[in-house]
Amino acid sequence: MSESSFQDDVLGELGDERLSEIASLLGTDTDGARETVATTVGAMTGDLQQKAGSDDGDEVRQAFAEVAEPPLQGVATLGGGLGGLLSGGMMAGVLAKASKPVANAVSKKTGIPAPTVSRVIEMLIPVLLAVFAKRAAAGKAGAGAPGAAPAAAPSEGGLGDLLGQILGGGKK
């Protein structure tokens, strides 16, 4: 699989049916919806990277560390299962907090009303969580020897690598 952008992964995970739902919500075609999703995802990931790099970015850094942990397997998943995945834990909360400022920024950039952008973001949060988890898992699988680095609290460099691996591109 070639290196695809985070937006491409989100659009792929979103699928045609949900992209059509977003297009209908926005009153546009799927190309317009795709463009709005890409703009929204770009604003959301930029906001997360900025927050993670700030002094008070502990919650965002912890959320990314949580996403990077391998999911529970077997019997342990029976309690949380799909509900646990869909709730997204800490990252879902971080994304929800970021949604209003991101909706306002995307609204200014695109002219789409902020409440409409907020509805799009609500539809995107579970998709973002899925892509974060897949990218983190793919990064861990390609990271080399098992146990090479403990997955406790990532160091500042480790966090930058983790953000770059999950969001693509890393620091600019």
**pLDDT tens-place string over residues 90-108:** 888 888 888 999 999 999 9
Residue 86 covered by a domain: yes
Residue 20 covered by a domain: yes
Predicted confidence at residue 52, as pLDDT, reads 84
Q: What's the domain count of the chain? A: 1
Domain region containing 15 = 6-140+151-166
Confidence of residue 147 (pLDDT cuts 50, 70, 90): very low
Residue 130 covered by a domain: yes
Task: Name the DSSP letter for residue 75.
Answer: G
pLDDT exceeding 90 applies to what percent of the chain? 39
Residue 146 covered by a domain: no
pLDDT higher at 116 or 148? 116
Residue 90 covered by a domain: yes
Lookup: tokens for 77: 């998943």
Lookup: tokens for 154: 């990532």
Distance (Å, whole) CA 13 – CA 131: 7
Lookup: tokens for 80: 């949380």
Mean pLDDT within 76-82: 41
**pLDDT of 159 over the 70 cut:** no
**pLDDT of 116 over the 90 cut:** yes
Mean pLDDT within 9-28: 95
The neighbour count for residue 152, using CB atoms within 10 Å, is: 8
pTM of the complete model beyond 0.75: no
Predicted confidence at residue 162, as pLDDT, reads 61
CA-based nearest residue to 129, from 169, 72, 90: 90
Residue 145 covered by a domain: no
Least reliable range by pLDDT among 10-14, 27-31, 58-62: 58-62
Amino acid of residue 147: G
Most confident of 70-79, 121-130, 153-162: 121-130
| Inter-residue contact 89 to 154 (CB < 8 Å) | no
Residue 22 covered by a domain: yes
Residue 172 covered by a domain: no
